[in-house]
Amino acid sequence: MGINFSNFIISQSKNKRLNEFQDLNHLDGVSVSTVSANLYGNNRDDLVMFYFRDGANYSSVYTQSQIVSENIKWNLKQNSNKIFSLLINTRNANCFTGKQGYKSLERIAELASEKLSEKQKEDEDQPKKIRNKEIVFGCTGTIGETFPEEKIKNKISELISKLKYTQNKYIWMKAALGMMTTDTQPKMSMKECLIGSSKVKIYGIAKGSGMIQPNMATTLGYIFTDADISNDILKKLLRKNIETTFNAISCDGDTSTNDMVTIFATNKSKNSMIKTINDSKLVEFEKSLHNVLLNLSKRIAADGEGASKFITVNVNNSKTQAEAKKIAFSIANSPLVKTAIAGEDPNWGRIIMAIGKAGPKINLNKLLIKFGNIIIVEGGKLSQSYDEKQTANYMKAENIEINIETFTGKKHFTAYTMDLTKKYIEINADYRS
């Protein structure tokens, strides 16, 4: 199975500021397929289907925007214990489409459930009848355009016919590429770990490049594991670990209408029963889950629209984590900070500005600011060791780290973002053109 090369070429169009993406291979209980519904008019893959032949436990977090897409409304209404399919389309957000957008999803789900039920009869000794409420959707793209129901329905049979019960890295690559909008790179991550004595896998793919500052989630992020974990524990794990991963990134300070992160567990690993989130057998799994979520989150921030630099903002020794988060995002979302970094200008005065407007009280006599390991401000004033030339040279790097020590407590928070370049304006000025 070949890669959609128009997508792949796009993904190679910029220098990578993070390590190469990982190869995802087979994960029991998951089948993947992609097709082109010609939503972009150029035959690139734009529909992605995940199929769980025995169903999957799941949990999701969604945007907290007061205006949400029709697929978010649909997903929130589904109360099944298991999900059998996830269908993702790009190019169209299905937001502000009203009853037409929701009814379109209903009809697509009816068709998909019918065809997947037929596949069950063909492939399974004990076939299951799949219901439309056991299908969830991910939509991404332009807000307010008529949802392309017929184009998607016409490709359901092809999507299902392409499903294979054994995966390889190319199929996962096609799925990650098929989700992209203004992304320039696919986002994939994986970890293997143990639950007790049982080896389990955690795979993740995501898309996101603009309209990114999450509130409970961001963009589209999907996690797949063969672990046997209940919906309730999946929910607790996801909500706990989303705060310092997907909720720690910002590209432009804007929260989307379509944001969602979902975890699916196929229960194929046959690990010992997990009764609570505090079960000691979950420690390694949770660390690995956090690693996958954080890896995907960083890749989204690094691939922000027009980005030339990946920025990490560490705020340490704060009174509370909430205060540290306010300061970190005040810096990460400042257009003045982001443009200075884009211009490789060590304008530390803009960091001072961003800290000052964040809200938490600051003791200037204790404040410490560093670019990487270079001390800029200490004791509330410019450091005597400050070297403008050394700092300017540091700003030429692709990965920039801003370290803030407030010394008001022991809490910390790290935010991840990107610089603001002319390219960001060009991309968003021409997004619909």
Are the C-beta atoms of 247 and 287 separated by less than 8 Å? Answer: no
3-state secondary structure of 50: strand
Are the C-beta atoms of 143 and 90 separated by less than 8 Å? Answer: no
Residue 218 a catalytic site member? yes
Residue type, 44: R
Q: How far apart are CA 33 and CA 49, in angstroms?
A: 5
User: What is the enclosing helix (H) or strand (E) of 199?
Assistant: strand 198-207
The alpha-carbon radius of gyration of the chain (Å, integer) is 22
Are the C-beta atoms of 332 and 417 separated by less than 8 Å? Answer: yes
User: What is the enclosing helix (H) or strand (E) of 283?
Assistant: helix 283-302
Residue with tokens 């500021």: 17
Chain centroid, CA 138 distance in Å? 12
In a 10 Å sphere around its CB, with 0-12 CB exposed, 13-18 middle and 19+ buried, how is residue 145 labelled?
middle
Q: How far apart are CA 136 and CA 132, in angstroms?
A: 9
User: Which one of 90, 140, 218, 244 is the catalytic residue?
Assistant: 218
Residues in the chain: 433
Residue 263: closest CA among 201, 219, 221? 221
Chain centroid, CA 143 distance in Å? 19
Q: Which two tokens stand for residue 345?
A: 């200008």
Distance of CA 108 to CAs 52, 60, 148, 362, Å?
A: 18, 21, 11, 54
Judged by phi (left if over 0) then psi (alpha if -120 to 50, else beta), residue 112 lies in alpha
- Bridge-based pairing state of the strands 135-139 and 187-195: unpaired
Are the C-beta atoms of 348 and 324 separated by less than 8 Å? Answer: no
Rounded to 5 degrees, what angle do the CA atoms 138, 144, 145 make?
Answer: 85
Other C-beta atoms closer than 10 Å to the C-beta of 154 total 14
Q: Return the active site residues.
A: 218
